[in-house]
């Protein structure tokens, strides 16, 4: 297809990636935000989101003239062929998705949209949202399309340009096909569906991944109680093509901007049609229990009490490769540790200070100073390459709790420390005999 005139409303993680990538595919894209300072920074090529390749795409889009940033959606959409809604849909009261931002944009632009312009929901929205938007706009000449995003933080640009699939749903089939054609040139199957099915796909995918993560964390706990090794168990599982290797690593629990809100939202959607989604509610409960188990493991390394314990934390972001702290399990665990009386010093390569309840430092070796325990909570690869003998020398205690199974236990033992992971046998430091 020829280059389309696209407006992307919202320049957060999803919106900025969507706008920059669509511009790289040859479309003329205007990205809209209400934050004047943010628009000015983006217009100057200043990208504050930590996402590999995104800043470079924005710079190229600006240089080519195919990507622009403006304040205010109402004027921006007047010449558009398609408007992507990429605004936040956070968890609202009771766990349902909060659609106030979607509704506000819809109310702002509905009467000035050109005839035939497609309104496309990229944000994760519950089933029935397309129908709701269509009713709000109240125009038969403006189709509404669901085109959910499947972007993982730290690999979002790659996921957009090399997707597993492109899902497009609408009760106006011609509009769905047109949106699918926007991605021409990407080697991926296009799934055309009705609006409700497309809206449900994103929830179904994310909640399945949450189930898988909760399952492997449960298996890790079972491994600890039975004396098995979760790494060997998941290796054996992963060769089964029906299961695969992804999302089989235990950790301190799942978090981030998607899984917590999407699992809660789908539970609420199920309740609205009188279905008790017990499997999913159990996965949510297991995720909370996993964080409690991690806290108990750390407390055990401190002799059973956290009051007055000095804890060095490595990692605060919810996953490596991002500076996103939203629903971070690292922060959740640290918060409980602090509430139980621990003194926390933390380091993350992508996070600066300003977090209540802890001291955030800019040097990983500072977290070891006088620490009773050092805890790995985010899987940054650089933690493997720390000078662990120097860390050991700075510590008061001798325990490393590796909630990501990131470190080589032999390396920790060689430094004179003990190592314990999740679902794996504890590796105790070698005692030096005293003559």
11 is in an annotated binding site: no
Q: Which pairing describes strands 310-314 and 67-71: parallel, antiparallel, or unpaired?
A: unpaired
404 is in an annotated binding site: no
For residues 392-417, one letter each, b for 16 or more C-beta atoms within 10 angstroms of the residue's C-beta and e for the rest, the string is: bebbebbbbbbbbbbbebebbbebbb
For residues 109-122, one letter each, b for 16 or more C-beta atoms within 10 angstroms of the residue's C-beta and e for the rest, the string is: bbeebeeebbbbbb
Q: Which pairing describes strands 359-360 and 343-347: parallel, antiparallel, or unpaired?
A: parallel
151 is in an annotated binding site: yes
278 is in an annotated binding site: no
Given a contact cutoff of 8 angstroms between Cβ atoms, the answer to whether 324 and 48 are in contact is no
89 is in an annotated binding site: yes
Place of tokens 């409960």: 285
Q: Which residues contact 11 (CB under 8 A, 6 or more apart)?
A: 19, 31, 32, 33, 35, 38, 39, 42, 69, 86
38 is in an annotated binding site: yes
Q: How many CB atoms lie within 10 A of CB 179?
A: 23
Distance between CA atoms of residues 47 and 14, nearest Å: 13
33 is in an annotated binding site: yes
Provide φ and ψ at 316, rounded to 5°. -125, -30
36 is in an annotated binding site: no
Q: Is 31 a catalytic residue?
A: no
Alpha-carbon Rg of the chain, whole angstroms?
24
389 is in an annotated binding site: no
247 is in an annotated binding site: yes
Catalytic residue among 31, 117, 223, 258: 258
Given a contact cutoff of 8 angstroms between Cβ atoms, the answer to whether 328 and 316 are in contact is yes
Name the strand (E) or helix (H) holding 360.
strand 359-360
255 is in an annotated binding site: yes
Ramachandran bin of 357, using left for φ above 0, alpha for ψ from -120 to 50, beta for the remaining angles = left
Q: Residue 19, SS3?
A: helix
Bind-site residues for substrate: 150-153, 202, 247-251, 255, 319
Active site residues: 258
Q: State the binding site for NAD(+).
A: 33, 38, 89, 124, 153, 261, 326
Known binding positions: 33, 38, 89, 124, 150-153, 202, 247-251, 255, 261, 319, 326
């Amino acid at each position: 297809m020829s280059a389309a005139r696209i407006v992307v409303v919202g320049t957060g993680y999803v919106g900025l990636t969507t706008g920059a990538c669509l511009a790289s595919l040859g479309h003329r894209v205007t990205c809209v935000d209400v934050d004047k300072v943010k628009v000015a920074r983006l217009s100057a090529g200043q990208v504050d989101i930590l996402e590999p390749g995104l800043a470079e795409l924005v710079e190229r889009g600006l240089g080519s003239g195919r990507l622009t940033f403006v304040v205010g959606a109402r004027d921006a959409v007047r010449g558009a062929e398609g408007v992507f809604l990429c605004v936040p849909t956070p968890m609202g009261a009771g766990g349902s998705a909060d659609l106030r931002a979607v509704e506000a944009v819809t109310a702002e632009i509905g009467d000035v949209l050109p005839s035939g312009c497609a309104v496309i929901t990229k944000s994760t929205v519950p089933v029935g949202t397309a129908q709701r938007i269509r009713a709000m706009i109240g125009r038969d000449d403006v189709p509404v399309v669901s085109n959910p995003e499947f972007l993982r933080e730290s690999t979002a640009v790659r996921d957009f340009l090399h997707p597993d699939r492109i899902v497009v749903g609408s009760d106006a089939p011609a509009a769905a096909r047109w949106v699918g054609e926007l991605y021409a040139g990407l080697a991926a199957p296009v799934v055309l569906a009705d609006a409700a099915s497309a809206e449900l796909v994103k929830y179904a995918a994310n909640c399945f991944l949450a189930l898988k993560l909760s399952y492997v964390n449960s298996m890790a706990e079972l491994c600890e109680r039975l004396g098995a090794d979760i790494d060997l168990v998941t290796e054996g599982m992963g060769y089964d093509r029906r299961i695969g290797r992804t999302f089989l690593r235990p950790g301190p629990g799942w978090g981030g901007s998607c899984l917590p809100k999407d699992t809660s939202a789908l539970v609420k959607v199920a309740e609205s049609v009188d279905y008790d989604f017990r499997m999913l509610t159990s996965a949510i409960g297991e995720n909370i229990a996993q964080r409690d188990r991690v806290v108990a493991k750390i407390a055990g390394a401190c002799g059973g009490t956290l009051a007055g314990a000095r804890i060095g934390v490595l990692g605060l972001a919810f996953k490596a490769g991002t500076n996103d702290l939203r629903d971070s399990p690292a922060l959740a665990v640290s918060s409980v540790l602090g509430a139980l009386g621990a003194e926390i010093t933390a380091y993350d390569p992508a996070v600066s200070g300003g977090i209540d309840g802890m001291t955030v430092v800019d040097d990983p070796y500072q977290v070891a100073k006088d620490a009773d325990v050092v805890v790995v909570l985010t899987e940054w690869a650089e933690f493997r390459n720390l000078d662990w003998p120097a860390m050991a020398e700075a510590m008061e205690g001798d325990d490393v709790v590796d909630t990501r199974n990131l470190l080589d236990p032999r390396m920790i033992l060689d430094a004179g420390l003990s190592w314990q992971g999740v679902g794996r046998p504890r590796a105790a430091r070698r005692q030096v005999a005293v003559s």
